[in-house]
């Protein structure tokens, strides 16, 4: 029997958990053994594991002993992510001022820690908010949604929508309606934005995986 272990980080988790600069990895498929020095040792340990639970214990132990990272930069960017998640349309300059740094300083530090600029993440979070709020089985007022979430007009929203999803709003609605009933569609947009600021040190997901592994063994 073969087991597969994956690691998914939050926007801020890449550097603390893996010791890697996310900006160098964004949008790329890379060889883990080449980019993460600890991967070779972790792989050897995983090869000796007999159960999924044992493998998860090994991965967790590795992630709980991160290399050094700038905790001040992490804390500042964590606060920025939290504020953007709560209010994606908030001006980046306002967030920077509240954190006691210039717009340019936050932009550089944020990009280094997250791998995206604050403005880029804000656009993604705004689109996610839109997908969470619309009722795909109801009548969607795109012009109202555009005004509420900070797009200049409906045409601007449509351009952004296609840029992020690859389809137009009407094509998205048609696909959702054909694939999900009303209850399923309400949760099909994915992880809610407020969960993005959680850091990987929580062992809750591991416990959930352990429960699923036990089910598989039964």
Select from 9, 6, 5 the least CA-distant residue to 66. 9
164 assigned to some structural domain:
yes
Across the range 9-24, mean pLDDT stands at 85
142 assigned to some structural domain:
yes
pTM score of the predicted model: 0.73
pLDDT reported for residue 151: 94
pLDDT digits (tens, 9 = 90+) for 73-118: 999 999 999 999 999 999 999 999 999 999 999 999 999 999 999 9
44 assigned to some structural domain:
yes
What percentage of the chain has pLDDT greater than the value 70?
Answer: 84
Q: Domain span at residue 18?
A: 14-69+205-217
112 assigned to some structural domain:
no
CATH of the domain at 171: 1.10.10
pLDDT reported for residue 105: 97
Matching residue, tokens 């054909």: 178
- The angle subtended at Cα 200 by Cα 198 and Cα 206, nearest 5°, is 115
191 assigned to some structural domain:
no
Same domain, 179 and 209: no
pLDDT reported for residue 189: 54
122 assigned to some structural domain:
no
Q: Supply the Cα-derived Rg of the chain in whole angstroms.
A: 20
2 assigned to some structural domain:
no
Question: In the chain, how many domains are there?
Answer: 2
108 assigned to some structural domain:
no
Q: For residue 162, is pLDDT > 80?
A: yes
Same domain, 21 and 62: yes
Across the range 7-31, mean pLDDT stands at 85
How many CB atoms within 10 Å of residue 152? 9
Residue with more model confidence, 72 or 10 = 72
pLDDT reported for residue 215: 41
């Amino acid at each position: 029997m073969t087991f597969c272990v994956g690691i998914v980080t939050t926007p801020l988790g890449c550097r603390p958990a893996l010791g890697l600069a996310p900006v160098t990895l964004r949008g790329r498929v890379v060889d883990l053994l080449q980019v993460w020095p600890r991967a070779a040792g972790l792989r050897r340990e995983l090869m000796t594991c007999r159960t999924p639970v044992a493998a998860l214990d090994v991965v967790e132990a590795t992630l709980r002993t991160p290399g050094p990272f700038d905790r001040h930069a992490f804390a500042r960017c964590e606060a920025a992510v939290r504020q953007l998640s709560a209010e994606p349309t908030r001006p980046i300059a306002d967030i920077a001022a509240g954190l006691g740094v210039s717009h340019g300083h936050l932009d550089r530090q944020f990009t280094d820690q997250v791998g995206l600029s604050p403005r880029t993440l804000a656009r993604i979070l705004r689109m996610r908010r839109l997908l969470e709020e619309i009722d795909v089985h109801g009548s969607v007022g795109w012009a109202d949604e555009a005004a509420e979430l900070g797009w200049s007009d409906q045409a601007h929203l449509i351009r952004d929508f296609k840029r992020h999803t690859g389809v137009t709003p009407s094509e998205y609605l048609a696909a959702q309606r054909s694939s999900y009933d009303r209850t399923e569609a309400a949760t099909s947009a994915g992880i809610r934005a407020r969960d993005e600021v959680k850091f990987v040190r929580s062992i809750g997901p591991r416990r959930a995986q352990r429960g699923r592994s036990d089910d598989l063994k039964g």
